[in-house]
Amino acid sequence: MSVFPSLERLVEPRSVVIVGASSREGSQGHRLVMNVLEHSRFAGDVHLVNPSGLSICGRPCWPSIDAVPAGDIDVALVIVNASRVMEALRQCAARGIPFAIVMSSGFAEADEAGKALEAEIADLCRATGLRVYGPNCPGFVNVRDRIGLTFSPAFKDDLNGGAIGLATQGGGLGRNVLQSLSYGEGVGLWFSAGNEVDLGVPDFIAHMATDPRISVIAVLMEGIKDGRKLIDALKLARENAKPVVILKVGRSELGVRAAQSHTASIAGSAAVNSAVFRQYGAIEVDDLSELAAVSKLCLRARTLGGDGVCVLSFSGGACALAADAVGAAQLPMASLHEQTTAALREVLPAFASVANPVDTTADIMRDSAMTSACLRTLCEEPNVGAVLFPIPMDYGDITGAMASAIVEASRTSKAVVVPVWMSRRMGKGFQMLESNGLQPFLSVTEAVRALKKVHDWRAGQISACAAQTPAAHGDTGVSGGAEVGQGQMVGATPALTEVDAKRLLGRHGIVVPSGELTMSAAAAAETATRIGFPCVMKVVSPDIAHKTEAGGVRLNLETAADARTAYDEIVANAGRYRPDAIVEGVLVERMLPPGGREMLVGVHRDEAFGPVLTVGLGGILVEVLKDVSHRVIPVDHADARRMIAELRHSDLLGAVRGQPPADVEALAALLVQVSEFVERAHGAIDQLDINPVWVGALGEGAIALDALMVLAQGADANAL
Amino acid sequence: MSVFPSLERLVEPRSVVIVGASSREGSQGHRLVMNVLEHSRFAGDVHLVNPSGLSICGRPCWPSIDAVPAGDIDVALVIVNASRVMEALRQCAARGIPFAIVMSSGFAEADEAGKALEAEIADLCRATGLRVYGPNCPGFVNVRDRIGLTFSPAFKDDLNGGAIGLATQGGGLGRNVLQSLSYGEGVGLWFSAGNEVDLGVPDFIAHMATDPRISVIAVLMEGIKDGRKLIDALKLARENAKPVVILKVGRSELGVRAAQSHTASIAGSAAVNSAVFRQYGAIEVDDLSELAAVSKLCLRARTLGGDGVCVLSFSGGACALAADAVGAAQLPMASLHEQTTAALREVLPAFASVANPVDTTADIMRDSAMTSACLRTLCEEPNVGAVLFPIPMDYGDITGAMASAIVEASRTSKAVVVPVWMSRRMGKGFQMLESNGLQPFLSVTEAVRALKKVHDWRAGQISACAAQTPAAHGDTGVSGGAEVGQGQMVGATPALTEVDAKRLLGRHGIVVPSGELTMSAAAAAETATRIGFPCVMKVVSPDIAHKTEAGGVRLNLETAADARTAYDEIVANAGRYRPDAIVEGVLVERMLPPGGREMLVGVHRDEAFGPVLTVGLGGILVEVLKDVSHRVIPVDHADARRMIAELRHSDLLGAVRGQPPADVEALAALLVQVSEFVERAHGAIDQLDINPVWVGALGEGAIALDALMVLAQGADANAL
């Protein structure tokens, strides 16, 4: 089912060729050769290509890839000048080499000529099946098997492999993550994707999602080249129950500018990116230290037992501080069973607090066996998933011994012990925790943020696994027989009229008010009488976007006479407002009972991810609260429910101030219908705004009161 | 003007007596003696008191304070068993010793007997003028003059004095702050207030506010014993332009429980505490590391030149990450003058970015002189107040040399250079920055948060200094001649009726709708006709709190006949709703035009701070948005404006969705009137809820549509 290539021969190659091998010390070509020949533990064949014909490290250099003796080659490492890259890649393709890593720079990040070169590479890949990694990247590092297909002088120190997989675009910050994970389980594979002309971050995530030696995937991105592919990769990771932790740099305008000045990617909209990460179960983090810390915690907390956090410290102040942070993060505090508190009571002095937070008092500093005993007891408590252990001070040997007790307890505990080293003196206790891979947090806030993210991810995995049966819902209120007008499709603003937009929505199952387009005062009166009072009348004109402003809307009409008068007034107002406007008629609709909530539902096209569905509070609250949530389409019923629940003020849909709760299920169903409609339209819908959506009380449904729809240029409304 | 005692003789004593001096190694009494005699640089007299008559370190022990030879004594250090503390303090008072530091525990934190002891101490202080510090505290440390009036074994390492003053309650976390500020300018004075039976955190803040050797005040609190005194101390600090940085532990319910289990303070309401800190210009922080870091940054940024931040790094990713964080924090990025970018261009390679963020590229790693040149240039740029310098990796000697350049630049720069050490390898570069007191941040997010807090504090200082002339405003809409009824003052719920509450408010200048209490259908019709239609009618009964629910409210009455009918219906409904209710009549009021914003204004009594004023969004939004802001009373017009501006959705008061902007000045004036009313009432008002306050368009004023007022037991409404 996977759309992703198998990267096995790239990740674990048995034969490589280095194109641009150099004997000049300090050159990238030389460092690459040294990394592969000297610093790697690479048993396969290494071929060197350099037209000079020199030999390097006693190995011959071939003048070209063609000249390399017969035999399978898995990966070509290309580090020649940008102008000579195409030639090398053509030879790779001709020879059937499946992968080329192009480390050279001077492509899209440099100038237009470089962009053109990238287009050529992409064409070659499509035509020949060659897969290209890069260009403009430091290469690939398989730390766990000690294979360095990179020119980085730091590779020789990349010694700490492990079950964390890392995918980045730029190289610089990626190395920070490697350094941060120097102890315990570290980074096993590091893909640094560069300009992503062919293979990119999604391909690497996808590989790691099914690589049995990778458990957690850390991702650092500055731009998103192919949003849909990224989504597929995130899905694959979720199916394989592997957390993906993402830091997306370039979220603010300032950050985008900074990122763009050194990469060639689209930054994407921060709100949509975050929504996608949430939608597909990735963990988004805000800082680089958090990327490493949360990845590590995901790994350490793999076998998390209970769900609650227990705070343990020998300082009352630290206990209160940590409990505050846990409370503020809305993380569950574990409640301790009586036998647990009894066991603590046996170990601790009488004035200690054995409730959660457990304040051992400074008495525990006398004897590290007390720390061990407390940890053992808490780690065995079934309600405890994590023990948060803030150490407020460096007390030399005393905190050193405590650290030993923590390391010891961590070895066998099913609960994860999370030490926080709060002092800036990084004494032996810190070193002990760090070198044993416990990655102590440096502040309580950071530790709690990380725990919260891991906790939420786990909760999301569980709910994603639970079966979700969408509730059946929705009758259409209008019959959608009439043809949709095409007149307004020509010209600069191909927006459909309200009548046409509603007709289309109605045809796809979305409930709109009963109503009809009328073309005379008499017809309006007749229609109003037929559909029932009170009714609403609105001008219909492709030239009038702001109907209310134009005096083109009348509410609360109670009689046929009212409707007749309203018709004439609306037409007259429209004429005054814009004398050249083509007025197609006046829409007469049944007015809905008061008390409904006003929401908005919209669709727009995101550069990276395609059509994005938005739900939010409508009416006057739109502008002020700016309370919306997004999902990329398609959206299922469970997603739709989550979108609604995510709104900061979703409480407004509950029973507030004596109003009955709103029909949230109907709103969710409408979201799914809109998603399906847009999906079936295959790109024909550029923009859709249903604002307001009237959401009645439970059982009353959700109805699209107004709609603005813009089709893609050339799209045919009647085909939808 | 100050209500605070002079602490000079406590802070810089010339003679002390140690009551409970001990020769037993490891005992607190012995450690205290050693700290004063051995580890302090204390030239004054030290007297030892111990009834055993031993001599310690060759000095005689006197059997009691009375027995100490004649001469002035500034401070008594009391470390005897709790049961013997009173006796010692009585002797202090008798001898005229001005200060006693009671380190002993076993007081309010222990049991009821301890609480009683504290009450006795307080009485003694009041009666004699003796000032007591503690009990249950580790003592006082004057680091800068090397005087340790403490039994802490860590005192001997407290060597790094400086211009930061620290006030804490518990001891444990305070020491963390000292450790965090081990280099450069550190903590000059550390007051650890313990149970605050007499002297407390506010007294210590007040001392430091006027101590010329203290520039920044760091405060760590778990409880607030006397809120009004704290406010006075914060005011004093603000007047002296000294930033006060506060970490208040015990903000969540969990944290409160944890804090209470080891202190004897009231936690206070987190929202009110935060509002007070904001109101009086203190900087609130969320974590211990932040307390030290922000305090240090306040100190380092004292001479901040420009206002903007400039990001400088040799990694494009780090530049983008930092720029993101600056953008997210809404910190201003400095725009660079042309001569600055030209100067950078001269130093940096062609492909570097010389806009802000300045991405030097990794080229800068070749030569630390480039770092120096860039820093020099940026520090001279008038728009730059701070240079944020993220260092994403530890590159050994290379980052070591960079750190030297930063230290060098910091010596003379008027802009503050803020290094961020992003790696977990704390190599020589980190050590260089740390040991030179530059206190590198460990993550970009932390650095930006701290910069933001310092920036906002500065902005607040500037606006607090600017003269504020409150706009004149407010006509009262009703004449408040009638007596306020007393009937409902007796019994369990001394709430005034709406009519009485409004009469009182009206009397104090707060605008209420024109209206009258009527007692018959005929009177209602007559009144309605006189005040004009449309009108509103509401039941008035001390027994009916929820008037709408009782069917006791009619809106939009258009004729005298309507009013007549409404009267009878309202009275009938009230009878059905609660047959035993005493109905005093029906209030007839002029109805206000639609389109006004609904706000709420309230007053409640905070345990720590007394009467607190609240403003928020009213109507249906109250419950859902929970968007309120607080200030303690009194509130002036500028405060009131800030309260309104602080609301998350203050935009609602602007021009939204075609509505004209609301009369914010009138709302601010109403807040000031309420504040003045409550202040004049001298504690008679227990609770006041004006909800909704109708706020019209600019010039239309703000009117109290409904009011609930609860007086303190025994208060006389007619005296208000």
**DSSP structure string for B480-491:** --SPPP-GGGSS
Considering only the top CATH level, what class is B514-590? alpha beta
List of residues 6+ apart from B112 with CB closer than 8 A: none
For the cut 70, the answer to whether the pLDDT of residue A675 exceeds it is yes
pLDDT in tens, B439-457: 999 999 999 999 999 999 9
| Closest CA of chain B from A69, distance in Å | 38
Q: Is the peptide bond before B440 cis (omega within 30 degrees of 0)?
A: no
Inter-chain residue contact A311 with B182, CB threshold 8 Å: no
**Sign of the dihedral defined by the CA atoms of residues A504, A506, A507, A509, in that order:** positive
How large is the greatest C-alpha to C-alpha distance in chain A, in angstroms?
A: 102
Architecture of domain A1-136: 3-Layer(aba) Sandwich (3.40)
- Alpha-carbon distance B615 to A696, whole Å? 31
| Interface residue B422 vs chain A (CB under 8 A) | yes
Question: For A553, which DSSP code?
Answer: E
ipTM of the complex: 0.84
- Alpha-carbon distance A9 to B17, whole Å? 80
- Alpha-carbon distance B455 to A8, whole Å? 52
Contact B266, B223 (CB under 8 A): yes
Inter-chain residue contact B259 with A320, CB threshold 8 Å: yes
Residue reference for tokens 């300018």? B185
pTM reported for the whole predicted model: 0.87
| Backbone torsions φ then ψ of A49, nearest 5 degrees | -120, 125
From chain B, the residues in CB contact with A444 under 8 A are: 287-288
From chain A, the residues in CB contact with B333 under 8 A are: 254
Structure tokens at B409: 């630049």
Cα distances from B378 to residues A626, B334, B439, in angstroms, run 38, 10, 20
What pLDDT shows up at residue A469?
A: 36
Contact B55, B47 (CB under 8 A): no
Reported as a pLDDT band with limits 50, 70 and 90, residue B257 is low
pLDDT in tens, B307-330: 799 999 998 889 999 999 999 898
Residue A427: strand, helix, or coil: coil
Question: For A38, which DSSP code?
Answer: I
Look at A58 and A676; give whichever has higher pLDDT.
A676
The residue type of B414 is K
What pLDDT shows up at residue A281?
A: 92
Look at A717 and A41; give whichever has higher pLDDT.
A41
Closest CA to A438 of A619, A293, A266, A254: A293
| Closest CA of chain A from B126, distance in Å | 31
Count of helix runs (H) and strand runs (E) in chain A: 22, 29
Inter-chain residue contact B172 with A257, CB threshold 8 Å: no
pLDDT in tens, A156-207: 888 899 999 999 998 788 989 998 999 999 999 999 999 999 999 999 999 9
What pLDDT shows up at residue A302?
A: 66
Inter-chain residue contact A445 with B287, CB threshold 8 Å: yes
Residue B98: strand, helix, or coil: coil
Per-position b or e across A118-138, b if 16+ CB within 10 A of its CB: beebeebbeeeebbbbbbbbb
| Closest CA of chain A from B566, distance in Å | 23
Contact B707, B495 (CB under 8 A): no
pLDDT in tens, A412-441: 888 999 999 999 988 999 999 999 999 999
Contact B302, B164 (CB under 8 A): no
- Alpha-carbon distance A140 to A135, whole Å? 12
What pLDDT shows up at residue B57?
A: 85
First to last CA, chain A: 29
Cα distances from B209 to residues A121, B186, B188, in angstroms, run 68, 17, 13
Residue A147: strand, helix, or coil: strand
What pLDDT shows up at residue A485?
A: 45
Contact A107, A135 (CB under 8 A): yes
Beta bridge partners of B597: B695
- Alpha-carbon distance B122 to B117, whole Å? 9
Query: How is domain B1-139 classified at the CATH fold level?
Result: Rossmann fold (3.40.50)
Among A316, A549, A652, the residue with its CB nearest the CB of B170 is A316
List of residues 6+ apart from A93 with CB closer than 8 A: A124, A127, A128, A129, A130
- Which positions 115-134 of A are in contact with B (Cβ < 8 Å)? none
Quick one: B301-465 is in which CATH superfamily? Answer: Succinyl-CoA synthetase domains (3.40.50.261)
CB atoms within 10 A of CB A496: 23
Q: How many CB pairs under 8 A join A and B?
A: 245
First to last CA, chain B: 29
List of residues 6+ apart from A532 with CB closer than 8 A: A590
Angle in degrees, 0-180, between the axes of helices A172-180 and B316-328, rounded to the nearest 10: 80
Quick one: A311-419+430-445 is in which CATH superfamily? Answer: Succinyl-CoA synthetase domains (3.40.50.261)
Inter-chain residue contact B258 with A323, CB threshold 8 Å: yes
Inter-chain residue contact B173 with A286, CB threshold 8 Å: no
Among B316, B362, B657, the residue with its CB nearest the CB of A623 is B657
CA B93 to chain centre: 35
Q: Is the peptide bond before A382 cis (omega within 30 degrees of 0)?
A: no
Closest CA to A513 of A495, A524, A529, A499: A499
What pLDDT shows up at residue A461?
A: 79
For the cut 70, the answer to whether the pLDDT of residue A483 exceeds it is no
Cα distances from B204 to residues A25, B181, B198, B230, B264, in angstroms, run 64, 20, 12, 10, 19
For the cut 90, the answer to whether the pLDDT of residue B482 exceeds it is no
Q: Is the peptide bond before A357 cis (omega within 30 degrees of 0)?
A: yes
Inter-chain residue contact B328 with A252, CB threshold 8 Å: yes
- Alpha-carbon distance A601 to A582, whole Å? 28
What pLDDT shows up at residue B358?
A: 95
Contact A294, A368 (CB under 8 A): no
List of residues 6+ apart from A573 with CB closer than 8 A: A539, A550, A551, A552
| Interface residue B655 vs chain A (CB under 8 A) | no
Helices (H), A306-427: 316-328, 338-347, 368-380, 397-412
Per-position b or e across A207-237, b if 16+ CB within 10 A of its CB: bbbbbeebbbbbbbbbbbbbbebbbbbbebb
What pLDDT shows up at residue A266?
A: 42
Contact B552, B577 (CB under 8 A): yes
pLDDT in tens, A105-137: 999 988 899 999 999 999 999 999 999 999 999
- Alpha-carbon distance B469 to B31, whole Å? 57
Q: Is the peptide bond before A692 cis (omega within 30 degrees of 0)?
A: yes
Structure tokens at B169: 């309650």
Query: How is domain A597-719 classified at the CATH fold level?
Result: D-amino Acid Aminotransferase; Chain A, domain 1 (3.30.470)
B514-590 matches B597-719 in fold: no
pLDDT in tens, A502-546: 999 999 999 999 999 999 999 999 999 999 999 999 999 988 878
Inter-chain residue contact B445 with A287, CB threshold 8 Å: yes
Question: For A82, which DSSP code?
Answer: G
What pLDDT shows up at residue A271?
A: 85
- Alpha-carbon distance A644 to A664, whole Å? 8
Reported as a pLDDT band with limits 50, 70 and 90, residue A289 is very high
- Which positions 490-529 of A are in contact with B (Cβ < 8 Å)? none
- Alpha-carbon distance A194 to B163, whole Å? 48
The residue type of A293 is A
Residue A606: strand, helix, or coil: strand
Reported as a pLDDT band with limits 50, 70 and 90, residue A98 is very high
Contact B268, B608 (CB under 8 A): yes
| Closest CA of chain B from A624, distance in Å | 6
Closest CA to B160 of B179, B147, B176: B179
- The domain limits of chain B are 1-139, 301-465, 514-590, 597-719
For the cut 80, the answer to whether the pLDDT of residue B462 exceeds it is no
List of residues 6+ apart from A289 with CB closer than 8 A: A180, A446, B422, B442, B443, B445
Nearest CA in chain A to B157: A395
